[in-house]
């Protein structure tokens, strides 16, 4: 304080220095504001909140302990029971599907065998038909050949008879 007061104790600069000091402390010196905020935070945390966080953490710890000790084993047991039953059902469904697939395979095989038998029957029938047609064609050809020979003979006889009459 002596240094401030002594050099400019009676000078007209003193109010300017005082004003500059106030402007500096208001604009640039944040220590009082920060200290006030810190005091308010500590007061808020210690006085108003009290042991609320500790109680919340204790309740959370108790809930987790109860969950681990009671609820989780019950859930595991229920899951095991349901999983084993579900596994049994899946095995039964798998067996039923396997049987259905076997039946379907047998039905398809039977159908394929029937189709093959019909095909073989049709082929045999076709071959028999073709042999029959060959025989009929041979008969028709033979009949045609005989008819042609008869006609040749008939025409040759007619020619001979014409030659007899042609001499007149």
pLDDT at 10: 62
Q: Give pLDDT tens digits along the chain (168 positions).
A: 444 445 555 678 888 888 888 877 777 777 777 888 888 877 777 766 666 777 778 888 899 899 889 888 888 888 888 888 899 999 999 999 999 999 999 999 999 999 999 999 999 999 999 999 999 999 999 999 999 999 999 999 988 888 887 665
pLDDT at 49: 66
What does the domain layout of the chain look like in residue ranges?
50-166
pTM of the predicted structure, to 2 decimals: 0.38
> Three-state secondary structure along the chain?
CHHHHCCCCCCCCHHHHHHHHHHHHHHCCCHHHHHHHHHHHHHHHHHHHCCHHHHHHHHHHHHHHHHHHHHHHHHHHHHHHHHHHHHHHHHHHHHHHHHHHHHHHHHHHHHHHHHHHHHHHHHHHHHHHHHHHHHHHHHHHHHHHHHHHHHHHHHHHHHHHHHHHHCC
pLDDT at 75: 87
């Amino acid at each position: 304080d002596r240094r401030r007061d002594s050099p400019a104790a009676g000078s007209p600069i003193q109010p300017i220095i005082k004003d500059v000091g106030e402007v500096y402390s208001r604009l640039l010196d944040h220590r009082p504001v920060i200290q006030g905020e810190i005091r308010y935070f500590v007061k808020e945390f210690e006085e108003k909140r009290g042991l609320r966080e500790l109680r919340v953490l204790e309740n959370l710890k108790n809930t987790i302990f109860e969950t681990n000790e009671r609820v989780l084993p019950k859930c595991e047991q229920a899951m095991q029971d349901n999983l084993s039953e579900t596994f049994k059902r899946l095995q039964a469904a798998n067996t039923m599907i396997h049987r259905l697939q076997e039946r379907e395979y047998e039905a398809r095989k039977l159908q394929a065998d029937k189709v093959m038998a019909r095909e073989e029957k049709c082929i045999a029938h076709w071959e028999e038909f073709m042999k029959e047609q060959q025989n009929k064609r041979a008969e028709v050809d033979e009949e045609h050949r005989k008819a042609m020979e008869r006609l040749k003979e008939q025409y040759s006889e007619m020619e001979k008879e014409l030659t007899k009459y042609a001499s007149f």
